[in-house]
Chains A and B, each alone.
Chain A
Amino acid sequence: MIKKKLEATKAEMGFSVARFMLKKHKNPLLNRAAKAASWLNKKRYGKDALDFLDEPPSADSEF
């Protein structure tokens, strides 16, 4: 039960961070912080988070 609550809290914090990243901040400091959060978010998945978008076309994406 405690584990579930912790996981829920972590996921809800993720939503808060996402909301922060997706706002167009007028304050330059907040704007830079949002960009940094966005950069860190991608880095969680390695050096090139979206490398799979450059994979060779599969039989279903080009035929």
Chain B
Amino acid sequence: MAHEVFDHPNRLTKPLKRIGERGEGKWQEISWPQAMDEIAEKLKAVIHQYGPEGLAVSSGPWNSSTESGMTRRLMNLLGAPNYISPVALCLGNTAAINRLTYGWMPLPDFENTQCVVIMGHNPHNQSWVWEYIRLRLAEKRGAKLICFDPRVSHTAERADIHLTLNPGTDGALCMGWLSVIIEEELYDKSFVKNWTVGFDALKQRLRNDFTLDKVSRITGVPEHQIAESARMYANASSAIIPWSPITDQHVSSTSAIRAISILRAITGNLDAPGGEMLMGMNPNIVTESQIELNDILTDEQKKKQLGYDKHPAFTFKAADLLSEHSERVFGIKYPNIVKGTNMAVPSPTFRAMAYGDPYPVKAFISIANNALMGYGNQTLIKKAMMNQDLNVSFELFMTPTANLCDYVLPGDTWLERPNLMDSYEWATMLQSSHQLYEPPGECKNVYYFLKQLADRMGLEKHFPWQTITDLFDYRLQPLGLSFNEFRDSYKMLIAEYKHYNYKKTGFATPSGKVELYSSVLEELGCDPLPYYRNVPEPCEEYPLKFFVGIREPQFFQSSQRHTKALRKGNKVPRTFINAADAEKYGLTNGEWATIESVAGKIHMLVLIRDDIPPGLIRVPHGWWLPEEKDLGAFEHNDGIIVPDTDEYLDREQGIPHLKGVPCKIYPRTESREYIGMAGLS
């Protein structure tokens, strides 16, 4: 199946140069040397006129995993701080916020745990398979399952307790749990006494702002259910709260992630068997963080990072406050866990690109990332891209993002290259993969692109590896094996791990302890304790709420829409709505509807489902239609209706709210002829 996806007539196989207007779709095939010469010349001109901060790069790290930290290396060598990534609202930001509390991003110990808390996430046998298998095996062992979810998902159906909370209120529910656990003294008293700071301040915040009746009103969960579930979690001999994208995408995401972190800590589950493992860096390889050379970026350039002052939680501003403590515990100043730390903030970056505020950003490189479809406020992103002197895309297919670029460079796929995977420094699992096919045409791996650019920018001595295999050989030097020897010796290498390591090293925070009251957030000018905030409530004009979510097993994010075999099972974007709301708003199953928010409107087919509660509709992520003339880029994407004004952005991170935005829905009135599946190759 994967090969069918990639061995496709739409596959980009040669570098393309735009010859028409942006978005017009007129291209000229050129050679790699010509493309790279012209890109480097234009990038030099931008840097000469606007400084290195005039370059922004958006990278999709899952799709370009062979880059091995080279993107940030090139940017740091250029002095360019504006690296953005969709991990800002999916996992990467969680990693950065976890560091504020205890210095690292924990990996859940499914193997030994007695209780699993799943928040809104619904891993199943076609999506999040690794987590699904670990979860089901834990359930087989007898582990309890608690599920937070407004709807009845497959995970919720199996749960011992299913909490049907209001969308976007997970953080408040966690604070309710903390209230119960602290008031009923269910926490690990020895751990709290010896290894935390700020317990009294937290207790006061909970008493002031998170009484059970108040939490019940916010979340819609009955008080007795909040208390019962909190007791189940706290009384389990070990428990985990695996990462969930849900809390990454809230207007109070930072507080929600912090509340989860605090739950893990005060129940004594940090670095405990069956709990949350703080694994640190893998000592067997040169890590991506080391390759990135984050140390060399000057303070002056770090301060120019977009979002640095207004939304600092995952920028260099926060990372610098943790750097010496990370070095003390984990041996590195800037651990870039899940590539989610030291980043610029997407919304301010696109504003700078569009309006030159606070300074102009005039060159944009999108690496294996359909940026136009990947963040909130797509209208802004389009304006930002149209205002660039240089737009470059490194891609597999002509995506909506690539279609707005000046140069489109053909990339390879995971089947067409060897790879060394290091778990994105979240854990210490190290794996290799084999190359099965030769890349078609002139498709290249991302390191080739970065090296070609670096060579032309006068940085060739910092990119001495001729191939990615050379690079992997270098990265494996600490292990004393070449890449090929490693591949022949291990299916997977897991570094040695000892529990309760913090007893020897302390935590990688300024206090050396778990910071329930975060000194870093305080120094950043943010609330040091978790709080609750939500977006505006539904009103007469926008009586419903939408959430972006429910993974579609046919696709990964905005990819694969060109594949007929996959589209057969999922032809067009579909919104889910319950029968009562469908009737109320005059919608018919299988007919087109328009969904509108303060940010814009999109069109989707209606699918009536009984697992969706009243007042809520589901919007899938990242839809475009490659068979359409305009690629269907501006009619269906969730990002069009996701606002990014201040009241919809998390204060500390600046990421948008995707879980419960006020909206309205009505039958589509505009007529539109679609080419449909017949237009797919």
Binding site for A on B (CB under 8 A): 109, 111-112, 122, 124-127, 133, 136-137, 140-141, 153-154, 238, 272-274, 488-494, 496-500, 550-551, 553, 569-570, 574, 607, 609, 611
Q: Is there contact, CB below 8 Å, between A50 and B133?
A: yes
What are the 9 A-B residue pairs with the smallest beta carbon separation, nearest first? A11-B273, A58-B154, A8-B499, A22-B492, A7-B273, A52-B136, A61-B126, A22-B491, A45-B140
Say yes or no: A53-B499 contact (C-beta < 8 A), given A7-B273, A10-B273, A23-B489: no
The B contact surface, by secondary structure, is: loop
Give the size category of A's interface with B.
Answer: 20 to 34
- Partner of B494 from the list A18, A52, A57 (CB cut-off 8 Å) is A18
Say yes or no: A59-B136 contact (C-beta < 8 A), given A7-B274, A10-B273: no
**14 pairs from A and B in contact (CB 8 Å cutoff):** A4-B272, A7-B112, A8-B273, A8-B498, A11-B112, A14-B111, A22-B492, A24-B489, A45-B137, A57-B126, A60-B550, A60-B553, A63-B570, A63-B574
Say yes or no: A60-B122 contact (C-beta < 8 A), given A8-B273, A52-B136: yes
Say yes or no: A55-B274 contact (C-beta < 8 A), given A8-B499, A62-B553, A62-B569: no
Cβ-closest chain B residue relative to A14 = B111
Number of A-B contacts (CB under 8 A): 83
Q: Is there contact, CB below 8 Å, between A8 and B272?
A: yes
* Cα separation A14 to B127 with both chains bound (whole Å): 27
Q: Is there contact, CB below 8 Å, between B607 and A60?
A: no
Q: Is there contact, CB below 8 Å, between B490 and A15?
A: no
* Cα separation A45 to B494 with both chains bound (whole Å): 23
Q: Is there contact, CB below 8 Å, between A24 and B498?
A: no
A22: B residues at CB distance < 8 A: 490-494
Cβ-closest chain A residue relative to B554 = A62
A40: interface (CB < 8 Å): no
Q: Is there contact, CB below 8 Å, between B499 and A11?
A: yes
Q: Is there contact, CB below 8 Å, between A11 and B553?
A: no
* Cα separation A14 to B499 with both chains bound (whole Å): 12
Q: Is there contact, CB below 8 Å, between B491 and A19?
A: no
Cβ-closest chain B residue relative to A63 = B607
- Partner of B490 from the list A8, A23, A46 (CB cut-off 8 Å) is A23
Return B490 CB to nearest CB of chain A, in Å.
Answer: 6
* Cα separation A23 to B491 with both chains bound (whole Å): 6
* Cα separation A4 to B238 with both chains bound (whole Å): 10
Q: Is there contact, CB below 8 Å, between A11 and B111?
A: yes
Complex interface bits, A12-29 against B, C-beta within 8 A gives 1, otherwise 0: 101100110011100000
A49: interface (CB < 8 Å): yes
* Cα separation A25 to B295 with both chains bound (whole Å): 40
Query: Taking each of B122, B126, B609, which has the highest tally of chain A beta carbons within 10 Å of its own beta carbon?
Result: B126
Interface residues of A in 41-56 (CB under 8 A from B): 45-46, 49-50, 52-53, 55
* Cα separation A50 to B137 with both chains bound (whole Å): 8
* Cα separation A46 to B141 with both chains bound (whole Å): 10
- Partner of A60 from the list B140, B551, B569 (CB cut-off 8 Å) is B551
Q: Is there contact, CB below 8 Å, between B109 and A15?
A: no
Say yes or no: A53-B125 contact (C-beta < 8 A), given A7-B273, A10-B273, A59-B154: yes
Query: Taking each of B136, B490, B498, B551, which has the highest tally of chain A beta carbons within 10 Å of its own beta carbon?
Result: B136
Cβ-closest chain A residue relative to B496 = A15
* Cα separation A22 to B489 with both chains bound (whole Å): 9
